[in-house]
Structures are given as structure tokens and as C-alpha cells.
Structure 1
Amino acid sequence: MPPARHRRRPRAVRTLLAGAGAIALGLSGLVLVTGTGARAADVDLITNGGFEAGALTGWSCTGGTVQSATVHSGSYALRSTPGAGDTGECTQTVAVKPSSAYTLSSWVQGSYAYLGARGTGGTDPSTWTTSAGWAQLSTGFTTGPATTSVTVYLHGWYGQAAFLADDVSLVGPGGPQPSQSPTSPSSPSPTATATATGSPTATATATATATGSPTGTPTKPPGLPKHVLTGYWQNFDNGAAVQRIGDVPAAYDIIAVAFADATATPGALSFTLDPALSSRLGGYTDAQFKADIAAKRAAGKRVVLSVGGQNGTVSVADPASAANFADSAWSLMRTYGFDGIDIDLENGVNATYLGQALHAVAAKAGSGFVLTMAPQTIDMQSTGMEYFKLALNVKDVLTIVNTQYYNSGAMNGCDGNVYAQGTENFLTALACIQLQGGLRPDQVGLGVPASTSAAGGGYVSAGVVNAALDCLAAGTDCGSYRPGTTWPGIGGAMTWSTNWDASAGSPVAGTIGAHLHAMP
């Protein structure tokens, strides 16, 4: 049998206080200051963006009022107070033109103020800050070919203090006949200057100054589909079907090789094919393993080396161990042909130093680098938790976070209610926390066990997973929990493991994989 550290056993159920008060956010701030920018054909499409009507004319709010005590400009500004079960959201739906570029901005003040747009027909933008004084949020998007309206929103967070907003604008082509295309080369692009403590995303030409991790415009590695299926491949034999990398079905877009080994050098990694597995496979050599990885890559798949597992002991907690991690990870990537790294550390992470290490690996690897994560459910309950901080710190190089929605017991959803594992509501209401907490939709995936044998609890059928994906992406097939918005760009799904999936008759590859790849 393989060493115990390689085997995923049921974890003790951890409990979390019910209610919205249990979610203690700790978002990093993002402030952008808009420069010259607007094109000749552009107009501000927001009605009453400065709230100078002295009322909420044009806006629909759950807990908002217009006040004059604290304003950014003029005489009035919005004040909205979230409740235990809502975020104090204010929205406005505006007419837009298809296939056109828009810049959205607002001045905000207070804890956990969010700005974004829904129904853009592409990737819906969202940004946030927490600031004691007025700070400007700005983001942008391009409408889809059939999009004629979008909904702009401002909101805070459940049970948190009130936030203020003023001078909201949505700048882009307006009127029945704009004088020129918003994407015309002769039209100057909006410019922005950004100051960030996290890893923001900005559209426009941007100059960034960071006090935290490096910044940039993150993109998915080239060649991956819109919705990806990730599967862990077991480098050990624990009763599941044994496989070569070449045996993993083509439905898996990302294959995570489990696991890298710790060494005597703090932070450093090593990897060795398990001799017992090799024997079961009739002699699986390093050369064959490398050839299988190369063949998967040639077929458009990605293969990453997973670090951790339930008993993984790799620790990156200072500059020296961060450098050791980066150097050894890059060496293994070159030796075996891995496309990147998966972080599955289940005994604590240091967001600062592991973030530095991952950025160093990404810098060595370049644009094709794949970074995946598989935190436990409890690790992603709020942005104040270290694993969530890590995800936000490396957002600029992060491919997808596939939270393990199993082996956890009941947990809080983003609406403040408690949901039992092994249900559609558990998947959708907990994924919503990440979607509202700062990750892009394409960076959020649903991690599920391939069978009842693969985890101690939390198994759901492939059909339930597909329903949860549809609920998050399109608002259809939802359970009793229905999110207030949709995320058509939802990242995908993950399973532990490709081996257990094969043992069960491949429901993940055959049913979930097919569904993901058919989603618009």
C-alpha cells in the first residue's frame, strides 16, 4: 500500500457559526483613477449617477437612501446598509450597443463596496475596495453581439457596515447612431492608474503600482476551453483503478498529478513515480510517463503537478522557502513537461510567501503557465481566510480554484444560510462566496468526489453537478437556493479522482465533461 500521506481519508467535520455574521471578510483594496479616456462617440449612460436628484431616481435599491452628510461631489450621495440576508444592492439597467466597449466607474467609501455589471454577454466585470475615504473603482467590459442592455450594480456585504457611493458613470457608445465604432483604431482608449494591495483586473491601458503581489491583466492559458474539467491522477494504488496518464479520458482538460513530495530543504519539492503503481501497470517508466504527458499536451490538454494532499507537509513561510519552492517546481516542470502547479495543501498556507513563490514560477514559465488550487470548503468561507487571500494574491496568474465541496459537513452559503453537503444548494451557495468575493467566474470550479468511495461524505451524482453548473451559469435547474445573478463564464468542475471515476464507470468524464464542453 502507498504511504498514508498519499491517501485521502475523511476529515473530521468542522463547524462554522451560522448566519451572515460568521462571514468575516478581509478583502484587499483596489483603487483606480480614470484618466483622459472618453471617445468622441461616448456618453455617460447612467441616470442620476451623482444622486443630485435628491432621490433614488433611476435606481432600484434594497436598503439605499440619498444623504447629504458625506458626498464626493455635489450635494448628495448614496448610502446603503446591508442586512443579515442581503448586500444592500442598488442597480440600474441601461441600454447599450452590441459588441461595444464600456468603462464603468464610481466613487465609493466604506467597508466592502462592490461595483460591477451583469448581463454583458461576455465576462461580467466586478471590482471592490474597502476604504475609510473616497476611492474610485473602475472596470470595463465589451458587450456581446446580441446584448442591448446591462445592469450596473453597487453593493456591500452581508451584515457589514453601510457604504457610500457617488458619481457613478458608465461611459460608452450611446444614442441611435454613434459617430464611430468604439473599437476603431483612431479612437483613443481610456487610460487608468491603479493602486492595489491585491491582484486587480482592469481593462483599458493601465499602469499599476502594487504594495502586494504583482499585477496585470489575467487571462486563461491559451488553448483551454471556456469550461474546463480537472481530474486528479493518483500516483499510488489505493483500491481505485490504476491508470497511466495516457489512460485518462480525453474529457479531462487539466490533469493534476498527485502528489509532489516534500524534501529536507524547506519549501523544496521532489517527484518520483510510485514503484508499487509502476509494478501494477506492468512497469511504468519515467520515459513512458513523460511521453504520456507530452501526448496529452499535444492533444491540447494540460498536466500539472499537485502539491499537498491531506497529509502534505510542504511549507512555504519565508523568503528562503519561497525561493526553494519556485526553483524546485520549475525544475520538475522542465524535467517532466508539467504545464504548471496545483496547490492542494490542507494543513495551512502562507498567502504572502506562497504567493511570492507562485509568482516566481509563473514568471519563469511564461504565458502558458497553469495554476490550479483545491482548497477545503472551510478555507474559502471568507476572504479573510489565508487560502482565499492566496487565491486573490495570485489572481493575475491563477487558472482555476476547484474547492473541495466534500468531507466538510454543513457550511454557510453566501446568503447567510447553512447548507448540508451532498446537495445542489451546497455547491451553488458556497461557490457564490468566491464569485462575489473577488475571483473571476472562470476562476471558480466545483470540486466533487467521483464516487462514494472517493470521499467520506459529500458525494453528489453527475446530474446534480450539471444542474449546479447550469444554475450558476444561467439561473436554470436551481435548487431552493437561487443566486441573484448568473455567471455564464463559470470555470468548470474537478473530481477526485480520474482513477475513482474509472472505477465507477466514468460518470464524471462521460456526463459532467460532456455537459461542460456543451455549455455556451
Structure 2
Amino acid sequence: MRRTPRLLATVAATLLAASLSPAPVSASASADTATAGSTATAQLPDRVLAGYLHTSFANGSGWVDLADVPDQWDIIHLAFAEPTSPTSGRLEFSLCPHTECPDVPSEQEFIAQIDDAQARGKKVVLSVGGQNGQVRLETTRARTAFVESASAIIDRYGLDGIDIDFEGNSLYLEEGDTDFRSPTTPVITNLIGALRDLTDRYGPDFVLTMAPETFFVQVGHQFYGRGQWGGADPRAGAYLPVIHALRDRLTLLHVQHYNSGPIMGLDGQYHFMGGADFHQAMADMVLTGFPVQGDPSQFFPPLAPEQVAIGLPASTYAGNGHTSVAEVQAAWDCLTTGSGCSGYTPTTARPGLRGLMSWSINWDRFGGDEFATEHGRHLGT
């Protein structure tokens, strides 16, 4: 997610750009591989709208009290907790300063608003990362700091779970780490371990969501890290081992279908953001599964439909690739009923598809709550 909208000029050729030079990391044990088809048990409505609430910063969209969040939103992601340094693992979370957000409540009032939202059936979740919050768990010490500091924030505010919105250089794959089923890169394995620690600590009702960009998920169909050609960006597909290892605990994956370059779908064609075709193709990839780096022996298994939502910008102000209400709803109907499809045709209809995610509640309020109103009505949230 972007604190301020930023136009990206990403194109497919960038996938073969010169490799990064990540800092050396210490060795870490491989994560266990989860069983395909097992699902998390955190209780949610059959259809959900998940939205990010700007709580730690201002960006022109305006402060929105939790008490004023429209009722259509079922999951409220508090954005963002950020680390004290990229490699410390230690998270900090604080409300937007009064100098930037004059209407910000006191911490006590904010906690009371969280309690009230939860009493109305909402899940209030701590989102970690964002555009500025680079998190690289290079060591087991950073993993421990991540778990303890995240737990302290969750306990202090009485939150329902955690959202992983790692962007930029937070996740990457080291040379030789080519199998998403048994990763060896410490920033990957330590994150998997940290999230297992947190879900173990809080139990099956703990909400675990992830909001990767398409580059970190669907691009893995063509390119995975440096890959067999040795020239791809080491971040390509880097979320795949995290999603796979935690699929038994993952409540919701809502890939950002925006701020994206053209992505090759399961039909071998490139799809471009901003229309129903893109959402149909990108969602179908995680619902059907796909060979990683085109290798049939490395097949990323599908997620259960109830674990999947589509990530969207709330308005043209919120991100590059905004899609009109009509196009979003056409894509939703195509994916859930198999009817009205244009462009890409999904493998099969998934009536259990969980919902939509938006960046953000603030930008939607700024634009008159169109996202919550129109999509809430269409999905029945």
C-alpha cells in the first residue's frame, strides 16, 4: 500500500532487470511445508469487505475515527506498524501525531473505539509494513523481536490478528533458493517461523491476512527469484513460500490488483490492470494454482476460495489501476458464477470467493463511500 499514490512504470521487461544485492543473512532452518487444502478457522462472514484505516500517518485523505467506519467493512486493518530499523524486527505502532491529524483521539478513546467495533462484529487487525515499513527478518533474533513486539501491540490494543503488507525489499530469495516448498533464505524462513509463533500463541481464532503485490505472487508463474536464467529480480514470487507454508493458518490473501505491470495469466497471455479481465486472471491464478517458473514439477497449489479476496484501490486517488464499480462487479460475478465473463475466462466458478479488499477506508470516505456502498450492496456485506 502507498501512503501517497505513486504512478508505477513497471513493465514485463523489468522482471529481467539486474539483480539486487541483498545483505548477507545468517542460516536458518527451512520451514515446514503445509498441506494443500487445509484452511484457517478464524470466523468471518461468508462475504467480507476488508479495508485499511490510516491510523499512524496523514496523506490528504483525512482522519477517520473507527466509530465512523461504515458498517459494510468487516475487517479493519490498522495501518501501519513499522520496525525501528529494517533489520531489527522490533515493531512500533502509534497514532498519527496531532500536528498532522488534529482530530486523532487519545489512545484510551481509540482503544474504546476498537472495543466498540469488535462488539459490532468487526475484526480489527494490525497491519505491518506498507510502502515505508521495510521489514527484513535476517536473523532469529529479529524473528523473536518481531513476535514479541507484535504481541505487545496486539495485547495493548486488544486486536484480532495481524496483516502482512511487506513491500519493497522486505522479501527476496537468495541464490540457490529455487523451491518454494522448502525455502532457505532467512528473511523468508524467519517470517514463516514468526507467523507460526504468533498463530500458535493466539490460537485458531487469530486472523492472519496478507496483502502482497502481484510481483511477489503471480509473477512467480514466470520468474521465481533469480531463477534458472540467473537474471530475474530476486524478489519475484518471494511471497509464494510464505503463503504456502502458512496456508493452514491463513485467513485471507488479498493480492493488490493495482500498482502492477502486465502479468501473464494461466492462458499464456499478458493481462493489464484496470479492468475485469485483470481481476479474473489474477484471482484465478491463486484459486487454480500454477507451475512456478513454468516448471510443472513445482506446482503452487490453489488456496481455498474462502481464503481469497481481490485487492483494489478505493478511488483514482488511492492507487494506480483503479477499476470502475461496474468492472469490479462484472469480475466478481464472473469469478463466482461463471457468467458475464469478458476477456479471461476462469477455470471454474468459485461461489465461495470471500470478498474484496480496499486501500483504503480513508480514501473511500474521501470519495463519498462509493466502494463500501456499491460493493457492500453487491456482495451483501
TM-score (norm 2): 0.79
What is the aligned-residue RMSD (CA, Å)?
2.1
Measure the CA separation in 1 of the matches of 2:7 and 2:364: 21
The amino acid that maps onto 2:317 is S
Decide whether aligned partners of structure 1 residues 8 and 200 sit closer, same or farther in structure 2, where only a CA change above 3 A counts: farther
Once the two structures are superposed, the pairs formed by residues 240-251 of structure 1 within 5 Å of their partners are 240-251=61-72
- The answer to whether the 8 A contact 2:58-2:101 is kept is no
Identity percentage over the alignment? 39
The amino acid that maps onto 2:340 is D
Measure the CA separation in 1 of the matches of 2:359 and 2:101: 23
Structure 2: gaps spanning 5 or more residues: 15-30, 172-186, 225-236, 290-301
Where does residue 45 of structure 2 map in the other structure? 225
Once the two structures are superposed, the pairs formed by residues 56-71 of structure 1 within 5 Å of their partners are none
Where does residue 192 of structure 2 map in the other structure? 355
Q: Are 1:510 and 2:373 an aligned pair?
A: yes
Where does residue 165 of structure 2 map in the other structure? 344
Deviation at 1:466, TM superposition (A): 1.6
Decide whether aligned partners of structure 1 residues 240 and 279 sit closer, same or farther in structure 2, where only a CA change above 3 A counts: closer
Which of 14, 19, 28 aligns to 2:10? It is 14
Once the two structures are superposed, the pairs formed by residues 112-511 of structure 1 within 5 Å of their partners are 198-201=33-36, 217-222=38-43, 224-235=44-55, 236-264=57-85, 266-276=88-98, 279-281=101-103, 283-347=104-168, 348-349=170-171, 350-381=187-218, 382=220, 384=224, 385-437=237-289, 438-455=302-319, 457-511=320-374
Larger Rg: 1
Match of 1:386, SS state, is: coil
The amino acid that maps onto 1:416 is G
- The answer to whether the 8 A contact 1:6-1:310 is kept is yes
The amino acid that maps onto 2:35 is P
- The answer to whether the 8 A contact 2:111-2:157 is kept is yes
Deviation at 1:354, TM superposition (A): 0.5
TM-score (norm 1): 0.59
Measure the CA separation in 2 of the matches of 1:503 and 1:269: 29
Q: Deviations over 1:211-244 (max 9, x none)?
A: xxxxxx433312x111211000012221113211
Structure 1: gaps spanning 5 or more residues: 19-195, 203-216
Measure the CA separation in 2 of the matches of 1:286 and 1:504: 27
| More contact order relative to length (CA 8 Å, sep ≥ 6) | 2
Measure the CA separation in 2 of the matches of 1:445 and 1:227: 9
Corresponding residue pairs, total: 320
Deviation at 1:8, TM superposition (A): 3.6
Where does residue 24 of structure 2 map in the other structure? none
Q: Deviations over 1:166-197 (max 9, x none)?
A: xxxxxxxxxxxxxxxxxxxxxxxxxxxxxx95
Q: Deviations over 1:380-414 (max 9, x none)?
A: 11364211221111111111111111111322122
Measure the CA separation in 1 of the matches of 2:377 and 2:138: 40
Match of 1:494, SS state, is: strand
Decide whether aligned partners of structure 1 residues 477 and 220 sit closer, same or farther in structure 2, where only a CA change above 3 A counts: farther
Deviation at 1:201, TM superposition (A): 4.4
Measure the CA separation in 1 of the matches of 2:36 and 2:2: 36
Deviation at 1:351, TM superposition (A): 2.7
Measure the CA separation in 2 of the matches of 1:515 and 1:319: 45
Structure number with higher helix proportion: 2
Decide whether aligned partners of structure 1 residues 238 and 260 sit closer, same or farther in structure 2, where only a CA change above 3 A counts: same
Where does residue 112 of structure 1 map in the other structure? none
Measure the CA separation in 2 of the matches of 1:396 and 1:376: 21
Match of 2:239, SS state, is: helix
Decide whether aligned partners of structure 1 residues 278 and 362 sit closer, same or farther in structure 2, where only a CA change above 3 A counts: farther
Measure the CA separation in 2 of the matches of 1:9 and 1:507: 19
The amino acid that maps onto 1:498 is I
